[in-house]
Structure 1
Amino acid sequence: MAQETTQWKDCVEKLSVLQWVLTFLLMGVCCSVLMLYLMFTSLWLFPVLYTTWMLMDWNTPERGGRRSEWVRSWKVWKHLRNYFPVKLVKTAELSPSRNYIMGSHPHGIMCVGAFSCFCTESSGFAQAFPGMRPALAVLAGLFRLPLYRDYVMSAGMCPVSRPSLQWLLSRSGVGNVVVIVIGGATESLSSAPGVNTVVMRQRKGFVRLALEYGADLVPVYSFGENEVFRQVLFSEGSVMRALQTTFKKVMGFAPCLFIGQSWGVLPYRVPITTVVGSPITVPQVSCPTEEMVDQYHQLYMEALSQLFHTHKTSCGLSHTHQLQII
């Protein structure tokens, strides 16, 4: 009986992760194709009505979105969390009377740690940080895809665009936590087991935004994120790397060639520990100077490095592992 229970649990966890991976990869395209197909069937009225409503609702993603605590609390997310498992570690308190910008590192292939911890309640964010509302900033183009836009909004995601972030930090009250994957698509191209590289040395826009709205900066590192998939890495200067870079510039995301442990897409079962660091107090300055931006950017990089080295051994890395910031 115990063996059957374990096998059933294992099967449910794998199916939970598989649906999430397929949703990540295919749902946006499938929803768009479905709406187009229905236009040429007897159900044409549905896509017409939806498209009309979508146009009327066009700016909602950049005005705080439309999160659903019901969707964020689906049991399927607990099965996804248990598959790896994913763990959220709190190192300091966050005040509901402040707004925060969290920098999430590294990107990995699919941001498993960031999704599980900030887009669902499976890892206990609400219990760890009462009164705080997390919003994971993702590719703005996703909110132009029919049906899929509503799905990602329900999980609390928002476009990683300046109007969207400004709204959350200035017109949505306090207690907002804007989570930005700083390295973005460029960082995903370097994701591989054993790699601890983050792309942020020239990325200072999030610091400027924090200064303009007085939002404290919080570094976050997900140990194990780069271990869940094996990726074919192409060297700088190669034709394939050039094609990936060109695609990224045009489409906004990078076409990573990766493989998992089962069926090619199921990720490896590797523990992911998402550690939320201590906030860096940031003053509100309407027009921050470049020197001020550089100062707080340097403070952030130092805090991220300290966070990494403080927790690396307890999260499965050896003391010889180093964090490379490029």
Structure 2
Amino acid sequence: MAIEFASRSIPLERRLQTVAVLQWVYSFLALAQTCIILFFVLLFTRLWIISVLYGIWWFIDWDTPSQGGRKSQWLQSSVVWRYLRDYFPIKLIKTADLDPSKKYIFGSHPHGVLVAGAFTNFCTEATGFPDLYPGISPYFLMLPLWFRSPFFRDYIMCGGLIPSDKESATYLLRQKKAGTALVIAVGGAPESLDARPGAFTLLLKNRKGFVKLAIENGASLVPVFSFGENELFDQVDNPKGSWLRAIQEKLQKVMGVALPLFHARGVFQYSFGLIPYRKPINTIVGKPIAVTENRNPSQEEVDSLHQLYTEKLSELFEEHKTHYNVPADKHLTFI
């Protein structure tokens, strides 16, 4: 296979965009592991006091992730994220106003491989979320596993990430502060195994926990769809029933983390690597679905709202798909 190398005359702006994406991919794939190794390595050096002091802080601060985390406006507004945004580029499109006196649950679709659209739109200010939705404060749910990593936990909390367990979500929704918006990648890690160019398969049929959470807390549901999210990476063929898919699903159940075998381009060449393709992502935030609070909803109530949410998500997709080069005969598939 011939390797296509990047030109030496690439403008500095594009090089900085690539660097921003490189650090983001590294943070997503390896920063947590690096932080764990660093924590233990420091214990056997003259800098051991750093890990000891951090360990004490970690013990004192243990519950912070599940109690709203610790956002940093300085980090969220960093110029790094603007370069990340422009690499693809990523845009956030508003379709309706959101009342800052209410609380919301955003259902983000699709998960993709590395949730690039949801991260950039809701964990940074690069695409203008605070200007589009004044008074609304988004919190992105992430696997609790990552909040067990020293140093890394503090970094991701600064971006407004909290553990994706019911206790953490409920804590925020039941605070008196209005304008809270929980962002949930509904398909989760398992959906990433179906993330490939041209795919519109969403893991949603039996994902009803977020709907029940909305009813229990009277939070309006907001469907969100990111056109282009699945175009960023190619993935090794792993159809249902294949030996590779069976291994991936088994590992996902054991580890809690999906392991899609994805690939795209490199830093200095375009033929292979783990850097995503430069494909645009357009994130459409739909109209809120009003929800009446009921601390003990029946299964029928949950099923009814889940069906309504699915219909509104489909309508959002159908309404906007032709603007983003999706063929008219393509529709969302729910599994």
State the TM bucket, normalised to the shorter chain: over 0.9
Aligned partner of 1:157 in structure 2 is 161
Query: How far apart, in 2, do the equivalents of 1:244 and 1:20 lie?
Result: 24
Query: Structure 1 residue 282 and structure 2 residue 291: aligned?
Result: yes
Q: State the one-letter code of the partner of 1:36.
A: F
Within the alignment, does 1:26 sit opposite 2:35 as a pair?
no
Superimposed CA distance per residue, residues 208-235 of structure 1 (whole angstroms, 9 cap, x where no aligned partner):
0100000000000000000001111312
Deviations 1:257-295 (A, max 9, x none): 111122401110000000000000000011000000001
The equivalent of 1:195 in structure 2 is: 199
Shift of 1:237: 2.1
* 1:49 partnered with 2:53: yes
Q: 180, 186, 199: which one pairs with 1:182?
A: 186
Determine helix, strand or coil for the equivalent of 1:321: coil
In structure 2, the partner of 1:309 is 318
Partner of 1:256: 260
Maintained 8 Å contact 1:88/1:123: yes
The alignment partner of 2:324 has SS state of coil
For the residues of structure 1 that align with 2:144 and 2:8, how far apart are their CA atoms? 44
**Residues in 1 aligned to 2:239 and 2:37: alpha-carbon distance in whole angstroms:** 35
Q: Which amino acid aligns with 2:276?
A: P
Aligned to 2:303: 294
Offset, 1:243: 1.4
Give the drift of 1:4: 9.9
RMSD of equivalent CA atoms? 1.3
User: Which 4+ residue blocks in structure 1 deviate beyond 6 angstroms?
Assistant: 3-6
User: Which residue number in structure 1 is paired with residue 16 of structure 2?
Assistant: 12
Distance 1:230 1:104 in 2: 21
1:108-167 deviations in Å (ceiling 9; x for gaps): 000000001000000000000000000010111111100000000000111101110001
Pairing partner for 2:142 from 138, 142, 150: 138
* Structure-2 separation of matches of 1:140 and 1:316: 36
1:314 alignment partner, SS class: helix
What is the match of residue 324 of structure 1? 333
Secondary structure of residue in 2 paired with 1:11: helix
Amino acid in the other structure paired with 2:318:
H
From 55, 59, 74, the equivalent of 2:63 is: 59
Q: Give 1:315 deviation, angstroms.
A: 1.8
Find the residue that maps to 1:189 and give its secondary structure: helix
TM-score (norm 2): 0.95
Q: Equivalents in 1 of 2:205, 2:43: separation in Å?
A: 47
Q: Which blocks of at least 5 consecutive residues in structure 2 are unaligned?
A: 1-6, 268-272
Report the AA paired with residue 262 of structure 1. Answer: G
Deviations 1:82-107 (A, max 9, x none): 00000000001111110000000000
Partner-residue secondary structure (3-state), 1:137: strand
Cα 1:123–1:311 change in 2 (3 A) is same
| Aligned residue number for residue 266 of structure 1 | 275
CA shift, 1:239, in A, is: 2.2
Q: Which runs of 5+ in 1 are unaligned?
A: none
Change (3 A) 1:285 1:80: same
Identity %: 47
Report SS of the residue matched to 1:233.
Answer: coil
Aligned AA (2:330): H
Is the counterpart of residue 118 in structure 1 residue 122 in structure 2?
yes
Asked if 1:37 is matched to 2:41, the reply is yes
On the 8 A contact 1:197/1:323 being kept in 2, the answer is yes
User: Corresponding residue for 2:81?
Assistant: 77
Q: Matched residues in 2 for 1:247 and 1:164: separation?
A: 25
The one-letter code of the counterpart of 1:130 is P
After superposing the two structures, state which structure 1 stretch, 316-325 or 72-81, moved more: 316-325
Say which SS state the counterpart of residue 140 (structure 2) adopts: strand
Name the SS of the counterpart of 1:107 in structure 2: coil
Per-residue deviation, 1:169? 0.3
Q: Please state if 1:220 is matched with 2:229.
A: no
